[in-house]
Amino acid sequence: MSTIQDFTGYKPTWCSGCGNWGIGMAIKQTLVQLGLTPSDIAVVFGIGCSGNMNDFLNAYTIHSLHGRAIPNAIGIKLANHKLPVICVVGDGDCYGEGGNHLLHACRGNHDITVIVHDNRVYGLTTGQVAPTAQKGYQSKSTPAGIIEVPVNPLVLALTSGATFIAQAFAADAVQMATIIKAGIEHRGFSLINILQPCVTFNKVNTYQYYLQRSYKLEKNYQKDDFRSALNKSLELLEEKFPLGVIYQVKKPTYTESLPQIKEKPLVEKERFRDFEKIVKDFI
Ligand SMILES: Cc1ncc(C[n+]2csc(CCOP(=O)(O)OP(=O)(O)O)c2C)c(N)n1
């Protein structure tokens, strides 16, 4: 049985009060609850304050490129679809630079869990505007206010084919852990958008801001109904934030649909075990 300590890496360098602390703890709690050890899971990080968790979490990790966590995660999953694979990324990373990868991962129902730290800014590079920021939001990169309308990640994922869509709040570690666990257990593509206050660079979308505008989904909410999920996701237009699993349906995953690896993962196939030979074949 593993413990939080087993998953603990270096001491985080996040600002005090940053929502990332809660998210980091919820991820570790989930991995313990799932009975995993650090070598049972692959975690792919993007670049950002969120991506710096690469050093703070002890597991098999890749600190990839900005916007490129998802294709790395898909690659790992294709090589070994028995392994749980999660991505930890920022909103700039996943909805901006890597937006294209998100769309196609949803379309393929790739069995990965994407956890997005949605702080509406580029935190690591000191507060430029990110794609989820509200129109008119003033930042050092948009002193007169952002001109573009915000990306709605929930609608984007839903209409692109994701089979699990959830939203959580960085101040509620218990609900976050429940949702992350459900996302990892879900077979198929899961997007978990976490509302994460950036206490240093975003003075608008604060803890208070989200506390006043968020609510937990009703107990009788039908998460397998596409129209209900669409309506819930559209509430972002009014800055209302439903928290919980907004959509979940069962559909074949990408690897389940791929005849070549139906019978066993690529890594277990004899001819892929001889790494020296594969390298020789290519050079
Ligand atoms: C290809 C590329 N473009 C830009 C950068 C510079 N860069 C590093 S972190 C970052 C912003 C990160 O913002 P976000 O993804 O929202 O994560 P956060 O820091 O807010 O957690 C940028 C633009 C980079 N490292 N690589």
Dump pLDDT digits (tens) for 145-191.
999 999 999 999 999 999 999 999 999 999 999 999 999 999 999 99
Residue in this structure with the two tokens 């909410």, named with its chain if needed: 221
Half-sphere exposure of 115 (CA within 13 A, CB side): 30
Cα 99 to the center of its chain, rounded Å: 12
Residue with the bigger pLDDT between 199 and 266: it is: 199
pLDDT digits (tens, 9 = 90+) for 18-72: 999 999 999 999 999 999 999 999 999 999 999 999 999 999 999 999 999 999 9
Q: How far is the CA of 91 from the centre of ligand 1 (A)?
A: 9
Looking at the domain assignment, is residue 55 inside a domain? yes
Q: At 44, give phi and psi (nearest 5°).
A: -110, 125
Does 255 map to a domain? Answer: no
Residue 272 lies in a domain: no
What ligand 1 atom has the least distance to the C-alpha of 89? Answer: 15
pTM summary value: 0.96
Report yes or no: 112 and 105 within 8 Å, Cβ to Cβ. yes
Nearest CA to ligand 1 atom 11: 122
Residue 270 domain-assigned (yes or no): no
Number of domains in the chain: 1
Our answer on whether the CB atom of 132 is closer than 6 Å to any ligand 1 atom is: no
Residue 196, in any domain of the structure: yes
Instruction: Look at residue 104 and tell me if it is in a domain.
Output: yes
Contact assessment for residue 242 and residue 215, using Cβ atoms and an 8 Å cutoff: yes
Tell me which residue has tokens 């958008």: 193
Residue 191 is part of which domain span? 4-250
**Is position 16 within any domain?**
yes
CATH code of residue 65: 3.40.50.970
Q: What whole-number distance in Å separates Cα of residue 102 and Cα of residue 154?
A: 11
In ligand 1, the atom with minimum distance to the C-alpha of 67 is 1
User: Is 283 part of any domain?
Assistant: no
Percentage of residues in the chain having pLDDT higher than 90: 91
Q: Is 19 in the pocket of ligand 1 (CB under 6 A)?
A: no
Distances (CA, A) of 101 to 62, 70, 71, 142: 17, 6, 7, 26
Centroid of ligand 1 to alpha carbon of 228 (angstroms): 33
191: CA distance to ligand 1 center in Å?
A: 19
